[in-house]
Amino acid sequence: MAVYAGPVQDLIDELGKLPGVGPKSAQRIAFHLLKLSREDATRLATAITEAKARVSFCRRCFNVCEGEECNICADDEREPHVLCVVEEPRDVVAIEKTREFRGRYHVLQGAISPIEGIGPEQLRVKELVQRLEPEDVTEVILCTNPNIEGEATAMYLARLLKPLGMRVTRIASGLPVGGDLEYADELTLGRALEGRRDVDA
Ligand SMILES: [Zn+2]
Protein backbone atom coordinates (compact mmCIF):
# COMPACT_ATOMS: atom_id res chain seq x y z
CA MET A 1 0.00 0.00 0.00
CA ALA A 2 1.69 3.19 -1.15
CA VAL A 3 1.35 5.92 1.43
CA TYR A 4 4.00 8.36 0.26
CA ALA A 5 4.48 10.18 -3.00
CA GLY A 6 6.56 8.66 -5.82
CA PRO A 7 10.29 8.79 -5.01
CA VAL A 8 9.85 8.41 -1.25
CA GLN A 9 7.69 5.34 -1.68
CA ASP A 10 10.14 3.93 -4.25
CA LEU A 11 12.95 4.30 -1.72
CA ILE A 12 10.90 2.61 1.02
CA ASP A 13 9.95 -0.21 -1.34
CA GLU A 14 13.57 -0.85 -2.35
CA LEU A 15 14.84 -0.76 1.24
CA GLY A 16 12.05 -3.12 2.25
CA LYS A 17 13.48 -5.76 -0.09
CA LEU A 18 16.71 -5.95 1.94
CA PRO A 19 17.18 -8.94 4.25
CA GLY A 20 15.89 -8.32 7.76
CA VAL A 21 14.33 -4.95 6.90
CA GLY A 22 10.60 -4.87 7.57
CA PRO A 23 8.22 -2.11 6.42
CA LYS A 24 8.75 -0.04 9.59
CA SER A 25 12.53 -0.19 9.39
CA ALA A 26 12.36 0.60 5.68
CA GLN A 27 10.45 3.80 6.49
CA ARG A 28 12.85 4.75 9.26
CA ILE A 29 15.91 4.21 7.04
CA ALA A 30 14.29 6.07 4.13
CA PHE A 31 13.66 9.17 6.25
CA HIS A 32 17.15 8.93 7.68
CA LEU A 33 18.55 8.91 4.14
CA LEU A 34 16.42 11.89 3.16
CA LYS A 35 18.00 13.88 5.98
CA LEU A 36 21.54 13.15 4.78
CA SER A 37 23.53 15.80 2.97
CA ARG A 38 23.65 15.38 -0.79
CA GLU A 39 27.35 14.36 -0.52
CA ASP A 40 26.68 11.62 2.02
CA ALA A 41 23.76 10.26 0.03
CA THR A 42 25.84 10.25 -3.15
CA ARG A 43 28.69 8.45 -1.38
CA LEU A 44 26.31 5.68 -0.33
CA ALA A 45 24.79 5.41 -3.79
CA THR A 46 28.25 5.35 -5.38
CA ALA A 47 29.47 2.65 -2.99
CA ILE A 48 26.57 0.45 -4.08
CA THR A 49 27.07 1.12 -7.79
CA GLU A 50 30.85 0.63 -7.59
CA ALA A 51 30.57 -2.61 -5.63
CA LYS A 52 28.07 -3.92 -8.15
CA ALA A 53 30.25 -2.87 -11.07
CA ARG A 54 33.58 -4.17 -9.74
CA VAL A 55 32.83 -7.09 -7.46
CA SER A 56 31.58 -10.35 -8.82
CA PHE A 57 31.67 -13.98 -7.76
CA CYS A 58 34.64 -16.26 -8.31
CA ARG A 59 33.87 -18.57 -11.23
CA ARG A 60 35.34 -21.49 -9.30
CA CYS A 61 34.28 -21.15 -5.66
CA PHE A 62 31.65 -18.33 -5.76
CA ASN A 63 33.40 -16.27 -3.14
CA VAL A 64 33.30 -12.53 -3.82
CA CYS A 65 36.15 -11.29 -5.95
CA GLU A 66 37.34 -8.62 -8.33
CA GLY A 67 38.07 -10.27 -11.66
CA GLU A 68 37.36 -13.87 -12.56
CA GLU A 69 38.98 -15.82 -9.75
CA CYS A 70 39.29 -15.00 -6.05
CA ASN A 71 42.67 -14.68 -4.32
CA ILE A 72 42.29 -18.03 -2.59
CA CYS A 73 41.57 -20.00 -5.77
CA ALA A 74 44.41 -18.19 -7.52
CA ASP A 75 46.87 -19.02 -4.71
CA ASP A 76 49.05 -22.00 -5.72
CA GLU A 77 50.25 -22.42 -2.15
CA ARG A 78 46.84 -23.59 -1.01
CA GLU A 79 46.19 -27.34 -0.59
CA PRO A 80 44.11 -28.09 -3.71
CA HIS A 81 42.45 -31.37 -2.68
CA VAL A 82 40.53 -30.26 0.43
CA LEU A 83 37.41 -28.16 0.01
CA CYS A 84 35.64 -26.34 2.80
CA VAL A 85 31.96 -25.81 1.95
CA VAL A 86 30.38 -22.70 3.49
CA GLU A 87 27.12 -20.82 3.08
CA GLU A 88 28.29 -17.26 2.46
CA PRO A 89 31.44 -15.29 1.59
CA ARG A 90 31.49 -13.90 5.15
CA ASP A 91 32.06 -17.47 6.41
CA VAL A 92 35.22 -17.65 4.30
CA VAL A 93 36.46 -14.58 6.14
CA ALA A 94 35.60 -16.15 9.52
CA ILE A 95 37.49 -19.37 8.70
CA GLU A 96 40.46 -17.55 7.20
CA LYS A 97 40.85 -15.68 10.49
CA THR A 98 41.39 -18.96 12.35
CA ARG A 99 44.46 -19.71 10.17
CA GLU A 100 43.62 -23.41 10.66
CA PHE A 101 42.62 -24.12 7.09
CA ARG A 102 44.95 -24.21 4.10
CA GLY A 103 42.64 -25.73 1.51
CA ARG A 104 40.17 -24.05 -0.78
CA TYR A 105 36.51 -23.13 -0.42
CA HIS A 106 33.17 -23.55 -2.08
CA VAL A 107 30.51 -20.96 -1.29
CA LEU A 108 26.95 -22.27 -1.62
CA GLN A 109 25.46 -18.76 -1.48
CA GLY A 110 22.80 -19.85 1.00
CA ALA A 111 21.43 -22.90 2.79
CA ILE A 112 18.56 -25.28 2.19
CA SER A 113 15.40 -23.77 3.67
CA PRO A 114 12.04 -25.28 2.65
CA ILE A 115 10.20 -22.44 4.41
CA GLU A 116 11.89 -19.86 2.20
CA GLY A 117 11.57 -22.09 -0.84
CA ILE A 118 15.33 -22.63 -1.12
CA GLY A 119 16.35 -26.07 -2.30
CA PRO A 120 19.65 -27.43 -3.64
CA GLU A 121 18.81 -26.07 -7.12
CA GLN A 122 18.94 -22.51 -5.77
CA LEU A 123 22.40 -23.10 -4.30
CA ARG A 124 25.80 -23.69 -5.94
CA VAL A 125 25.54 -27.44 -5.40
CA LYS A 126 25.78 -28.47 -9.04
CA GLU A 127 28.91 -26.34 -9.38
CA LEU A 128 30.38 -28.04 -6.30
CA VAL A 129 29.86 -31.52 -7.73
CA GLN A 130 31.36 -30.42 -11.05
CA ARG A 131 34.59 -29.32 -9.32
CA LEU A 132 35.28 -32.56 -7.50
CA GLU A 133 36.76 -34.65 -10.26
CA PRO A 134 38.79 -32.07 -12.20
CA GLU A 135 40.30 -30.76 -8.95
CA ASP A 136 40.85 -34.28 -7.59
CA VAL A 137 39.14 -33.43 -4.30
CA THR A 138 39.78 -36.01 -1.57
CA GLU A 139 38.00 -34.35 1.36
CA VAL A 140 34.99 -32.07 1.64
CA ILE A 141 34.55 -30.34 4.98
CA LEU A 142 30.95 -29.27 5.59
CA CYS A 143 31.20 -25.92 7.33
CA THR A 144 27.59 -24.80 7.10
CA ASN A 145 26.08 -22.99 10.09
CA PRO A 146 25.15 -24.95 13.22
CA ASN A 147 21.42 -24.18 12.84
CA ILE A 148 18.48 -26.05 11.28
CA GLU A 149 19.13 -24.89 7.70
CA GLY A 150 22.88 -25.45 7.99
CA GLU A 151 22.46 -28.96 9.40
CA ALA A 152 19.90 -29.87 6.73
CA THR A 153 22.30 -28.63 4.05
CA ALA A 154 25.21 -30.59 5.54
CA MET A 155 23.10 -33.77 5.67
CA TYR A 156 21.95 -33.30 2.08
CA LEU A 157 25.51 -32.79 0.85
CA ALA A 158 26.86 -35.72 2.85
CA ARG A 159 24.32 -38.03 1.23
CA LEU A 160 25.16 -36.64 -2.18
CA LEU A 161 28.95 -36.70 -1.86
CA LYS A 162 29.76 -39.81 0.17
CA PRO A 163 28.81 -42.24 -2.61
CA LEU A 164 31.26 -40.40 -4.88
CA GLY A 165 34.07 -41.87 -2.81
CA MET A 166 35.65 -38.94 -1.01
CA ARG A 167 36.02 -38.21 2.69
CA VAL A 168 33.15 -36.07 3.94
CA THR A 169 33.58 -34.38 7.30
CA ARG A 170 31.56 -31.98 9.43
CA ILE A 171 33.02 -29.38 11.76
CA ALA A 172 32.88 -30.52 15.37
CA SER A 173 30.11 -29.47 17.68
CA GLY A 174 31.06 -26.96 20.34
CA LEU A 175 29.95 -24.06 18.23
CA PRO A 176 26.96 -22.26 19.68
CA VAL A 177 23.93 -24.14 18.35
CA GLY A 178 21.48 -22.06 16.35
CA GLY A 179 24.12 -19.45 15.66
CA ASP A 180 26.10 -18.36 12.66
CA LEU A 181 29.70 -19.31 12.00
CA GLU A 182 30.67 -15.69 11.67
CA TYR A 183 29.76 -15.03 15.31
CA ALA A 184 31.98 -17.81 16.64
CA ASP A 185 35.31 -16.60 17.98
CA GLU A 186 38.43 -17.63 16.09
CA LEU A 187 39.63 -20.09 18.71
CA THR A 188 36.29 -21.94 18.90
CA LEU A 189 35.95 -22.07 15.14
CA GLY A 190 39.55 -23.19 14.74
CA ARG A 191 38.99 -26.02 17.22
CA ALA A 192 35.74 -27.02 15.53
CA LEU A 193 37.61 -27.29 12.25
CA GLU A 194 40.47 -29.24 13.78
CA GLY A 195 38.07 -31.63 15.55
CA ARG A 196 35.98 -32.34 12.44
CA ARG A 197 34.49 -35.81 12.16
CA ASP A 198 33.53 -38.10 9.32
CA VAL A 199 29.84 -37.92 8.51
CA ASP A 200 27.75 -41.08 8.35
CA ALA A 201 25.28 -40.68 5.58
ZN1 LIG B 1 37.50 -18.71 -5.63
Distance (Å) from CA 92 to ligand 1 centroid: 10
Distance (Å) from CA 129 to ligand 1 centroid: 15
pLDDT of residue 1: 55
Distance (Å) from CA 74 to ligand 1 centroid: 7
Residue 90: phi, psi to the nearest 5? -65, -25
What predicted TM-score, i.e. pTM, was given to this entire model? 0.79
Quick check: 85 and 143 in contact, CB under 8 A? yes
**To which H or E segment does residue 50 belong?**
helix 38-54
pLDDT of residue 2: 62
Quick check: 145 and 94 in contact, CB under 8 A? no
Q: At what angle do helices 23-35 and 6-15 cross, to 10 degrees?
A: 120
| Residue whose C-alpha is closest to residue 200's, from 175, 167, 178, 173 | 167
| Residue whose C-alpha is closest to residue 87's, from 36, 125, 34 | 125
User: Bigger pLDDT: 201 or 149?
Assistant: 149
Quick check: 200 and 172 in contact, CB under 8 A? no
Taking only the tens place, the pLDDT of each residue in 98-150 is: 998 999 999 999 999 988 889 999 999 999 999 999 999 999 999 999 888 99
Quick check: 167 and 201 in contact, CB under 8 A? no
pLDDT bin (cut points 50, 70, 90) of residue 184 is: confident
Distance (Å) from CA 179 to ligand 1 centroid: 25
